[in-house]
Amino acid sequence: MAHEVKGVVARGKGAPVSIETIIVPDPGAGEAVVDVQACGVCHTDLHYREGGINDEFPFLLGHEAAGVVSAVGDGVTNVIVGDNVILNWRAVCGQCRACSRGRPQYCFATHNATQKMTLADGTELSPALGIGAFAEKTLVHSGQCTKVDPAAAPTAAGLLGCGVMAGIGAAINTGGVGRGDSVAVFGCGGVGDAAIAGSRLAGAAKIIAVDIDDRKLEWAKGMGATHTVNSGQTDPVEAIRALTGGFGVDVAIDAVGHPAVFEQAFYARDLAGTVVLVGVPNPTMEITLPLIDLFGRGGAVKSSWYGDCLPSRDFPMLIDLYLQGRFDLDGFVSETIGLGDVEAAFEKMHRGEVLRSVVVL
């Protein structure tokens, strides 16, 4: 029997979100219904509301979530009712050209639920990133459910489903940060601070946080930054070179996604170093660099999509590190809020006042 629950819906471009009654169908083959316990507020939700992703309104927002499986459809073998799960937006297909070459973290044909959740009048909803978890229940593909240790607080665990994983993965998976490396992270919001935490986990010896906001630089220290640079007051490229014997860092991570910041990251790395772009640029942005510098400096320029994560590999491992006290996932939870507070949380996020507001259901 389908369920009627409350969910946060963006009905039109730029319009404030509203709480609506939504219909969640019983899971079909390969699908699961999850009772959402907690869901973080991410910039991507705001981008959906502003029409910056696509025009397929109405959107059911929310995608950084943890919950408990409450029903599964035919053929589901990876989870059972009662499992504690983190939802992911990389349910790998196992068959595409990336998967078939043993690189499922790049899967080009990820799964989402086949059935649609709807408004009470039958209007089909587009769930954010195929999840839609600012709701008491949501319908997903079973592959979007990654089982984790139930001891993990859902408020923290859910954040691994998107932003925190993106940042950690940008450092460890994409950037290849390892023991003894020097790292610079540009932009110290949720994703940037996660890149800092990931660099610490990986054993980086020097982690330089760069931001224009001293308050964010203080947060970054709490996540593992060994040095901070206020790029509104100091040239960050010179400051980073001064902190690294004049050479630059092994890995420079742009967690902002702005041409001026990317250029700083590009020149703040040592010869043969790696630049990682994990911040999301807007479609109008362009960059011009001397091609000789791209060649002559060597190394690698990479982008990181969802931290190049493989949820089945990375989520349980990071939850274990969190439960062992080696990774401060709770530190990303700035506040817990209700379903009706999402619009206010967008404002706080926009003003840079929070790492993450987390809706608790």
The binding site for Zn ion (CB under 5 A) comprises: 42, 44, 93, 96, 99, 107, 109, 162
Q: Following DSSP, what letter does each residue of 164-217 receive, concatenated?
A: HHHHHHIIIIIS---TT-EEEEE--SHHHHHHHHHHHHTT-SEEEEEES-HHHH
Of 96 and 360, nearer to Zn ion (C-beta) is: 96
Provide the token pair at 296: 């002559």
Shortest distance, position 64 Cβ to Zn ion, whole Å: 5
Q: Which two three-digit tokens encode residue 224?
A: 């593992």
> Whole-number minimum distance, CB 260 to Zn ion, in Å?
24
- Least distance between Zn ion and beta carbon 44 (Å): 4
Residues 6+ apart with CB under 8 A from 148: 66, 84, 85, 86, 157, 315, 316, 319
Name the DSSP class of 123. Answer: P
Q: Which is closer to Zn ion, CB of 162 or CB of 268?
A: 162
* Amino acid at residue number 203: G
State the Cα–Cα distance between residues 87 and 39, nearest whole angstrom: 10
Q: What is the 3-state secondary structure (H, E, C) of 264-287?
A: HHHHCEEEEEEEEECCCCCCCCCC
b or e along 34-69 (b: 16 or more beta carbons within 10 Å of the residue's beta carbon)? bbbbbbbbbbbbbebbebeeeeebbbbbbbbbbbeb
Give me the least distance between CB of 163 and Zn ion, in Å please: 5
**C-beta of 107 vs 125, nearer to Zn ion:** 107
Question: Closest approach of Cβ 94 to Zn ion, in Å?
Answer: 6
d(CA 328, CA 181): 21
Q: Pick the closer one to Zn ion by CB: 230 or 312.
A: 312
**Shortest CB 42 distance to Zn ion, Å:** 3
Q: What is the DSSP letter of 91?
A: B
Q: Which residue's CB is nearer to Zn ion, number 96 or number 301?
A: 96
Contact 40, 358 (CB under 8 A): yes
Q: Which is nearer to Zn ion, 109 or 271 (CB)?
A: 109
Cβ of residue 143: shortest distance to Zn ion, in angstroms?
10
* Residue 225 and residue 207 in contact, taking contact as beta carbons nearer than 8 Å: yes
Give the residue with the Cβ less far from Zn ion, 44 or 182.
Answer: 44
If the CB atoms of residues 118 and 174 are measured against Zn ion, the closer one turns out to be 174
Separation CA 339–CA 26 (nearest Å): 23
User: In the complex, what is the shortest distance from the CB of residue 104 to Zn ion, in angstroms, rounded to a whole number?
Assistant: 6
CA distance 10 to 17: 5
Smallest distance, Zn ion to C-beta of residue 78, A: 16
- Of 111 and 206, nearer to Zn ion (C-beta) is 111
Structure-derived torsion over alpha carbons of residues 111, 114, 116, 117, reported in degrees to the nearest 10: -60
